[in-house]
């Protein structure tokens, strides 16, 4: 799945930032963590040291819905590279730095998350 297809899926399921709470971000983090760990074990990612960063930068509106949120990955040679970002302008970003081997676990976690919160 491409980044554009993932953004389309988010929209097709009727989701907007108004549907996303801090709890939903926690579920996304859990899915990302699981998928990255599995990809490391399977040798899919470029290095087996990638892991989700515990740092999450986020802002929520007064009703508790996300305004913007940034989830990060760490590895032995970098810290806090974008995993998934919900930018303040409504754009959802997916590891713009990543190659074709590093992105699939992030995309599959996002798709599972979208299906989960849309139901």
**How many whole angstroms from its chain centre is CA 65?**
16
pLDDT for 81: 93
The domain in which residue 49 lies consists of 3-118
Contacts of 102 (CB under 8 A, 6+ apart): 45, 46, 50, 95
Cβ-in-10-Å burial (0-12, 13-18, 19+) of 107 comes to: buried
pLDDT for 45: 82
pLDDT in tens, 102-119: 899 999 999 999 999 998
- CA-atom Rg of the chain in angstroms: 14
pLDDT in tens, 61-77: 999 999 999 999 999 88
Q: How confident is the model at residue 44 (pLDDT cuts 50, 70, 90)?
A: confident
Give the chain's domain count: 1
pLDDT at 46 exceeding the cut of 90: no
What is the reported pTM? Answer: 0.93
pLDDT at 97 exceeding the cut of 90: no
Question: Of all residues in the chain, what percent carry a pLDDT higher than 70?
Answer: 100
Q: How confident is the model at residue 49 (pLDDT cuts 50, 70, 90)?
A: confident
- Over range 6-24, report the average pLDDT: 97
Task: Collapse the DSSP code of 77 into the 3-class scheme (helix H, G, I; strand E, B; otherwise coil) and give the result.
Answer: coil
Give the CA dihedral 12, 45, 70, 76, nearest 10 degrees: 180
pLDDT for 43: 87
């Amino acid at each position: 799945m491409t980044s554009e297809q993932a953004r389309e899926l988010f929209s097709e399921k009727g989701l907007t930032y108004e549907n996303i709470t801090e709890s939903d971000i926690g579920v996304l983090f859990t899915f990302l963590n699981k998928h990255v760990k599995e990809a490391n074990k399977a040798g899919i990612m470029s290095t087996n040291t990638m892991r989700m960063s515990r740092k999450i930068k986020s802002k929520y509106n007064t009703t508790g819905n996300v305004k913007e949120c940034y989830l990060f990955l760490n590895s032995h040679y970098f810290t806090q590279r974008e995993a998934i970002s919900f930018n303040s302008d409504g754009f959802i970003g997916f590891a713009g730095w990543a190659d074709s081997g590093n992105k699939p676990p992030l995309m599959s976690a996002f798709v599972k998350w979208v299906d989960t919160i849309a139901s």
